[in-house]
Structure formats: structure tokens, C-alpha cells
Structure 1
Amino acid sequence: MRVRRFVALARDEVPDLAQEILREIRREHPHLPLVLDESGEPRALVGIRRALEHFLDHLTSGPDRPQVHHRVFQEFGRGEGLQGRTLDSLQAMYRLGVRLAWRRLAEIGQRVEIPPPAMYELAESGFQYLDGLVDETVRGYAEAAARQAGERLRLQRRLLDLLFAEHRSDPAEALAERAARIGWPLPEQVAVAVLLRPAREAMAPAVGQGVLLDMEPEQPRMVVPEPTAAGRAELLRRSMAGWSGAIGPPVPLHRAVKSLRWAAAAVALMERRLLPAGQLLQCTEHTEALVLLPPEELIEDLDRRLLAPLAYCGPTHGRRLAETLLAWLESRGGAPEVAARLGVHPQTVRYRLRQIRELWGDEVDDPDRRFELELVLRARRLRGELAARLP
């Protein structure tokens, strides 16, 4: 009987109590916007009032009556998520509302002389009800966050598709429109990275704000704005812990596809172990390898034609002659300079240079032939077929 009287008195105070709770929430959270429903009433006020009414209904209803109106509070959570508020701020609002509501309900309980044990049960029921509200609100909030994240990813992919397309005309207007939709300030320069996954289930690297990361491809891609800005390289190095890949050279925004090509070429060489792995490799520091190694067919054909004389020298002696020829071409010096580069005696170099003259004749004095010989020999060294150059 006392519970029914308690519920009746509390129901009369629900409208004023809901207004008081909303006022206090807005005082604590002054930037909370008032979104109106179809009737022109603040949705937050409607939600508070319904929560109080449903709780009071629960006190006098049977066990089959649902405790929480799922749709109402899921929609509230979705709305708050779309407004950009955090879960912490949402839960703080709930706690404030419950504190105010419980203060008023405790006063009513004293007026109708509800015994303390019964009030404790009432409080426990109230907190259980609050848990249900929070669960439904969080579910709606999570749905909104997932929807927003999915929409942003879709818009980001559209921007990346345009960035990585070949352009016959200036794409500035289209890029600006797509970038604005995800709040990405257009940079003057970008560098594009291609990444190698450490494992299929690996967490995405924690790249800094403004960096576009596309995890959809088998080899994820990353667009770094203003890559030469102070501190950018160090931030990238830290965020890429556990990941490896290559980042292309800085290029104007509308030429991002060119940076992507260099990064992809470098990653291909990393996979063949022709470039060092286990880090975010800077393409600008490996220009020689990127120029000489990818056009394999052309370089190999030139190699076969120019270095054919070595086929008659045996593998070991042929490699030594090739190393001596390359050192001579690079140093443009005499036997002492070449010997210093190779770490051998100058007399050994003189002997090998005489053999080189016998094998190639006057061709080694032709500037064009010297250039081609140096190209194919450098390519061999990059592939690990010749000894590395001494420091």
C-alpha cells in the first residue's frame, strides 16, 4: 500500500523533477545542445521523463513488464554519439540525473514512512534500472560510432581513389570537396607509404592526426601530409613500431600516385630481400637500387651483352675482375686508388687492369660504354653478386 502511495506521489512530481534534472545537466554541461522532437519538446527532457515514469511503472508492475524502453535510450545514445560527445560525459549526465532523482524520491519515501530496508531495496532497484539505461544508451552510442566510422572510411577511400588516379586535368576542386567531407586540410605536399603487415591480425599503426591510413588492401597504404615538416619523420618512426614498409618521395598533392609507385617498387624489393626490411624505409635514401633493380629485363640483357667476356674467366676470377672494373670506373683513378677501394695490393690491381684491357679492348675508354658497364656492375652489387664497396 505504501509503495503504491509512494509511486502516486512520485508520478505527480515527475514533470518538475525532469525539468530540474535537465537544468542541472545543462548547468554542468553548458555546451549540451537542445535537440527538439517532432512536437518541439527537447528530446533529452522527454528521455528523462520517460525514464522516471518507466522506473515507477516497474515498481508496481509484474515481472514480465520490460524494465527499460530499449528504443528510446538507444536513440538517445545514437544522438549523443552523432553530436560528438564521449561515453564518459554521457555516464556523468546519468550519474547526475540519478543523484537528483534519488534525493527527491528519498524525500517522498520519508513522507509516506517507507521503512529503511524497503528504501534500500528501492535504491537497489533504481541502480539496476540505471544499469539497463546505460547499457541501451551505450549500445546506441556504439552503433552511431560504428556508422560514423564506416561512413568516414567510405569517404576517405573516395578521396584516396582520386589521389591515386592519373589526372589529365587539375583535380584541385574535386580533391578539396572530398577532403572537406572528412575534415582533412589539403596539404601542399604528401608522401605515400606502402606497408607490410607483420601479421594478418596485426593492429593498425597508431599514425598521427592528419595521416590517412587505408587498411583495406593486402598491403596497407598511408598518405602523410607535409612529410618534411619538423618532427614528422620521428613521429612516423614511433608510430610504425612493429610495422615495415617504404615511403615514397615528397610530391605535390596532385602527384601522389608517383610517390605511391616508388613506395610500391621499394616494397617489392624488400620482399625479395634486395632492400632492408623491418623498418619504414625512405625511398629517397635508396635511389640507386630503385632505379637499377626494377627494370630487370633491360638490365639483365645489357648485363649479358656487356659482361660476356667474363664468362671465360671462371666464377671466382670473373667476380674479382668485375669488382676491380667497377672500382676503377667509380674512382676514375689509378692502381693505388682502386687498390684502396678493394683492400688489395696495387700490384694485384695492375695485373687485373691489364686483363680487363685484354678482354674489353678500347671499349673501356668509350664514355658511353663505361657508363653502361658501371650501370650493370652496380646492379650486380645491389643484388649481392659483387662485394659491397668499402667505406
Structure 2
Amino acid sequence: MTHPAWREVPQAQVDRFAAIALAEAGELAQAILGAIRHEYPHVKLVEDESGEPMALVGIRRAIEGFVHNLASGSGKPRVPPEVFQEFGRGEGMHGRSLDSLQAIYRLGVRLAWRRFAEIGQQVDIAAPAMYELAESGFEYLDGLVEQSVRGYAEAAARQASERLRLQRQLIDLLLVEHHGDPVGTLAERAARIGWQLPQSIAVGVLLRPAREAMAPAVGQGILLDMESEHPRVVIPEPDTAGRSEMLHRATTGWSGAIGPPVPLAAAAKSLRWAETAVRLIESELLPGGEVLRCTERTEELVLLPSEELIDAVARRCLAPLDGTSAVQSRRLAETLLAWIETAGGAPEVAHRLGIHPQTARYRLRQIRELWGDVIEDPDRRFEMLLVLRAQRLRGERADRVDRAEAL
């Protein structure tokens, strides 16, 4: 004890006080437990290995610890940590708050103080010293609460860690190729984390803006796996009103892609499109700095990953340009693409390219001379359309890189 009035109490009186209090510790603990059961009948008491309620053990140890400390005069009362940390862990594991536990502690301290006051009178300890004893009791209460808070925090962290582990297991199961109906297996895993299986799903892949980047606050119901090299996000019912805007806000500053909505069993297909888009972002063929939607980047996702195939087709279907200069080849290629896209004549092509109609007519005549009747074949025109659009996309990417380097 650190209070002056208590230090002035003769040791003989302190020893008599301690002897009586320790002799009654078990009986007092039983009385306090009975009052707790009466005041808080909903509280479930956990028993230890001997079958004795842990609460009774904790109350008795708390009383004995306080009294021993009181008798020795060793300063601030030391709280026995194990039992009270376990109380806090129990509240955390069952999803309850610490409010009722703190109320129980206050009840116990009040009842203990009532009996200690009677013992103080019995051994003639002066009132100022007993007031200081009461203050020490409330300090002790703070220590009990502190130990329970530690246990509670430990349980909460353990539960959060376990939920993340189960969530990653569910994500892994969702994203494998399924043959047949996977709902039964998925439902069992989803139930462990309270996740309701959706009808449709979209899968996103993210690129970290920094190694220690905070996880995006994607909101309830959306699964997030931050342990992967590229974090994965699973979005149930992606077409739900407001979900797109919420994800956009949550992923501000991140790069990545969200695959197309698919049925639950086809989640792996949505993942593949998102991974394809992320590879294009890493190759600077798609812009970074935002989370793209694959459904809004269809042309790039279809044409850009097929570079080798497109180049092989280009060597064949654009072979007539081999004998032209680089400038002439570029102009004729853009004119050919404009003609295929507009399905019109020289005026439409001229308007699209911003050139004079006479220039467009001259280029179109050159095209007909170079390709001949092949240009009228719908299948060949479609091939040319794919090749020329792919080249245009690559050219736009090259222009972006040149501008960035110039800055």
C-alpha cells in the first residue's frame, strides 16, 4: 500500500485483519458468486478440471491476492492474471462485450469491501486507513478489468485470424474448376464464416500500390484475400445497386481488374479474365492506377493477349503493304481500317480520318489495287479488322509510353 494512513496502522492490526480475511476468503467467494448468479442468471459458469466453477476460483484468488498484498505492504495490488484473462477470452470467443463482465467485477468488489469494512471495525483500524483500503480496492478492480481486456483482445485477434484462414480456404475452393454441382461443398465452408452463397459472382485481382498497403475497405459480404501475391477479391451479386460505386471508392489508389459476372460455379473463369487484364496492366498495355472492369475492356482483352497469333495473321493479310514505305503503309492501314469500320465510301472515311474526300478516294483506289478482289471477302475483312484494331491498340499504348517518357 502506498497511502500514508494505512502505513500508520500497526502491523499487529494488519496481521489480524489479513488472518480473518484469508480465513473467510472461501466463504466470501461463495457469497459473491451466489450474488452474481442471482443478479446475472444468464451468465454461464465454466468449470475447471476439478469441476469447480472457474469464477469461484477467480474470486477466491482475487481476494487472497489482495489481502496478501495488503499484509505485506508491497505497494500497488498485484492482480492474478490467468483466471481473469481467461474470463476475457471467454467473452470474446462467445462474441459478447465486456460490459456485463465489468458489472460483475464491480458487484464483487462492492461485496468484498462491505465485508472488509466489517473486519476493519472488528480489529479497530481507523476510518482514514479503511478509506484508503477502499481506494486500493478500486485500483485492484481496474487491474482485473485490464487483465480481462487483454484476454478479450487475444480472443478477438485469434477469431479474426481463424476467420481469415477459413475465408482463404473458401476463396481457394471457389476459384478452382468445378465439375458438377459444387454448391453443397461450398455451402458448408461458407457457413463457417456466415457467408451466404450468391447466384452470381465476379472475381477481382489487385496490384498493391505499396508493399505495406492497407487492405481496401470493401465492406461486408465481399471476400478479400490479402495473403496472395496479388490480392484477390470475390464479389457476390456484382450487379447489386451501388456495389460498383462502393468498390470504386474502396479501391482508390489501387490497380487491378474485376472479371465479368458469372454463375457461382464458374468463378474460376471470372478469375482468368481478371488475371489476363492484370498481366496487360503490368505490361503497360492497359492503364494502371485504377481497378478496371473486364466487361469495359473487351477489345483489349480479346486482341492484346493474342499478340503472336495476330502477328502471324498480319503477315499474311497485310502482305500487300510490304512493298510500300513506312509512311505510306501506315496511312493505307488506317484508311483500310476506317473503310471496314464505317462500311461506307470516301466521304465517310474522310470524315473519320479528318482528311479531304479526294485524299480518301485516292487511298481507297490504292487499296483496291493492292488487295484486288480479296478486299470484298467478308472473312478476310474481318481478319483485317482484328489485326488493324490490335495494331491500333498497341500504337496507342506506345504513344502513352512516349508521352510519359517525355514528361
User: Shorter-normalised TM-score: what interval?
Assistant: 0.7 to 0.9
Matched, 1:202 2:204: no
In the alignment, which residue of structure 2 is the partner of 1:366? 377
Shift of residue 55, structure 1, vs aligned partner: 1.7
Contact 1:189–1:226 (CA under 8 A) maintained in structure 2: yes
Distance 1:96 1:351 in 2: 98
Paired residue secondary structure (2:216):
coil
Which of residues 30, 52, 55 is equivalent to 1:15?
A: 30
Matching of residues 186-201 of structure 1 within 5 Å: 186-201=197-212
Specify whether residues 304 and 21 from structure 1 end up closer, same or farther in structure 2 by C-alpha distance, changes over 3 A only.
same
Change (3 A) 1:354 1:104: farther
Residue type of the alignment partner of 1:272:
S
Identify unmatched segments of 5+ residues in structure 1: none
CA contact (8 A) 2:88 2:98 kept: no
Contact 1:323 1:387 in 2 (8 A): no
Report the equivalent of 2:3. Answer: none
The residue type paired with residue 332 of structure 1 is A
Structure 2: runs of 5+ lacking an equivalent: 1-11, 400-407
Q: Secondary structure in 2 aligned to 1:195? A: strand
Cα distance in 2 for residues equivalent to 1:97 and 1:84: 23
1:19/1:45 contact within 8 Å kept: no
Distance between the aligned counterparts of 2:192 and 2:84, measured in 1?
Answer: 29
User: How far apart, CA to CA, are the structure 2 residues paired with 1:284 and 1:110?
Assistant: 82
The answer to which of 100-109 and 178-187 deviates more is: 100-109
What is the CA distance between 1:87 and its match in structure 2? 4.8
Q: CA deviation at 1:286?
A: 0.9
Q: Kindly report which structure 2 residues correspond to 1:1-391, keeping only aligned pairs within 5 A, or say none.
A: 1-7=12-18, 10=21, 12=24, 13-21=28-36, 23-24=38-39, 26=40, 32-38=43-49, 42-61=53-72, 63=74, 67-87=78-98, 90-91=101-102, 93-94=104-105, 97-98=108-109, 101-102=112-113, 105=116, 109=120, 114-115=125-126, 117-119=128-130, 121-385=132-396
- Tell whether the 8 Å contact from 2:70 to 2:77 is kept in structure 1 after alignment: no
Inter-partner Cα distance in structure 2 for 1:135 and 1:82: 17
Amino acid across the alignment from 2:372: G
Indicate how the Cα distance of structure 1 residues 20 and 89 shifts in structure 2: closer, same or farther if over 3 A, else same: closer
Stretch deviating more after TM superposition (90-99 or 282-291): 90-99
Query: For 1:14-41, what per-residue CA distance to the aligned partner results, in whole angstroms no more than 9, with x for missing partners?
Result: 43234335544x27xx5x4443445555
For the residue of structure 1 that corresponds to 2:256, the secondary structure is: strand
> Aligned equivalents of 1:300 and 1:171: distance in 2?
40
Aligned length: 384
Kept after mapping to 1: 8 A contact 2:225/2:233: yes
Deviating more after overlay: 320-329 vs 156-165? 156-165
Q: Which structure has the larger Rg over C-alpha atoms?
A: 2
Question: Are the structure 2 counterparts of residues 2 and 348 from structure 1 closer, same or farther at C-alpha, using a change threshold of 3 Å?
Answer: farther
User: Could you say if the C-alpha distance between residues 91 and 387 of structure 1 is closer, same or farther in structure 2, counting changes exceeding 3 Å?
Assistant: same
Aligned-residue identity in percent = 68
Query: What secondary structure is seen at the aligned counterpart in 1 of 2:395?
Result: coil
Q: 1:202 offset after TM fit, Å?
A: 0.7
